[in-house]
Structure 1
Amino acid sequence: MTQDARFEDGAERPLQLVAMDPDDLSVLSALVQDAVFPITEMTWSARKRRLGFLVNRMRWEDAPNAEARGRRPERVQSLLVIENVLGVASQGVDRSDKDTILSVLSLTFEPGEDAEGYVVLTLAGDGAIRAQVEALEVALRDVTRPYAAVSGKAPRHPD
């Protein structure tokens, strides 16, 4: 008998997840909500058909534990990689300003013909990055040890 993973199972280990359908992607979206990254940490390789981001994400999977133990919430650097990318477009993102810091609100999939569609990274401030994909495949992998959030608190969103 197999048992589904629980949210708490990832609390003390680096995450390494892959989304192959919209339901999987909603999990990654929750984990990268409020992630921040400099615009210089976004890379598109047309030859490899890959769009990658080095993000500083909140460790939402550990946030309840941190608060209960009196610790500051943590962030961790993670690679967010979209595979099978045919093209990339952006809106409300000034790529010429190398000092820009972007903040992720959500990650969604807009289906198209067959397996094709668009992976949309919605950003704070009305920005968005849209990757046209041949098939949905998005990976999230923690690449550093967690560190205390500089702000000392987790972002809050009105209900």
Structure 2
Amino acid sequence: MADALKPLRLLAHDAEDLGVLSAALQDAVAKIGDIRWDAQARTLTIACNRFRWERAGGKGGERVRSALQFGDVAGVQARNLRRDAKGAVVELLSIGFEPGEEAPAGVVTLTFAGGGDMRVTVDCLDVALADLSDPWATPRTPGHAD
């Protein structure tokens, strides 16, 4: 059980790895202003409050400040996300990958609650997730209607 207390540090270099990151980030919340694309560095970075599913049990749970970074980003498109509303909060539901015609390129899709999404075109999958803070208690466990 001591391992569950360590900060999460994960890398994804293929679709299967990305599925693990997607599960760890389900129901993470972020402000629009905490999503940054640096076209010159070819990175997309999202700072978020991740629900610690690996520690969930009973009522409530824990959240931790985390960062998700995509490397080798060729372009980013957003739909139904107001980039000018920097304080607006979005909830991440899933992350998927669709391979392109020339491996290892493809498109990563981040799906958010409420119908928003981001399409991240990458030359290859180079994704890192890292917990940045100590966890804190939250009284609510995220839930989804069937």
Instruction: Identify whether the pair has TM-score above 0.5, normalized to the shorter chain.
Output: yes
> Which ranges in structure 1 are unaligned for 5 or more consecutive residues?
1-7
Match of 2:98 in 1: 110
Which has the greater radius of gyration?
Answer: 1
Deviation for aligned residue 1:128 = 0.3
Instruction: String of CA shifts for 1:51-73, please: whole Å, max 9, x gaps.
Output: 00001010001113xx3xx7x40
Alpha-carbon distance between aligned partners in 2 of 1:98 and 1:40, rounded to the nearest angstrom: 4
Alpha-carbon distance between aligned partners in 2 of 1:44 and 1:154, rounded to the nearest angstrom: 30
SS in 1 for 2:36: strand
Match of 1:84 in 2: 72
Match of 2:126 in 1: 137
Q: Are the equivalent residues in 2 in contact too, given 1:10–1:61 (CA < 8 A)?
A: no
Q: Are the equivalent residues in 1 in contact too, given 2:67–2:129 (CA < 8 A)?
A: yes
Alpha-carbon distance between aligned partners in 2 of 1:156 and 1:9, rounded to the nearest angstrom: 27
10 and 53 in structure 1: CA distance in 2 versus 1, 3 angstrom threshold: farther
- State the TM-score, normalizing by the size of structure 2: 0.94
SS in 1 for 2:54: coil
Alpha-carbon distance between aligned partners in 1 of 2:40 and 2:86, rounded to the nearest angstrom: 24
Out of 53, 57, 63, the residue aligned to residue 75 of structure 1 is 63
> Which ranges in structure 2 are unaligned for 5 or more consecutive residues?
none
Alpha-carbon distance between aligned partners in 1 of 2:3 and 2:118, rounded to the nearest angstrom: 28
Alpha-carbon distance between aligned partners in 1 of 2:68 and 2:2, rounded to the nearest angstrom: 20
Instruction: String of CA shifts for 1:29-77, please: whole Å, max 9, x gaps.
Output: 011000000101011111111000001010001113xx3xx7x400000
Match of 1:16 in 2: 9
SS in 1 for 2:5: coil
Instruction: String of CA shifts for 1:120-152, please: whole Å, max 9, x gaps.
Output: 110011000111000011111000000112xx0
SS in 1 for 2:53: coil
Q: Are the equivalent residues in 2 in contact too, given 1:51–1:81 (CA < 8 A)?
A: yes
Match of 1:3 in 2: none
Deviation for aligned residue 1:99 = 2.2
Match of 1:60 in 2: 53
Match of 2:111 in 1: 122
SS in 1 for 2:93: strand
- State the TM-score, normalizing by the size of structure 1: 0.87
Query: Are residue 155 (structure 1) and residue 142 (structure 2) matched?
Result: yes
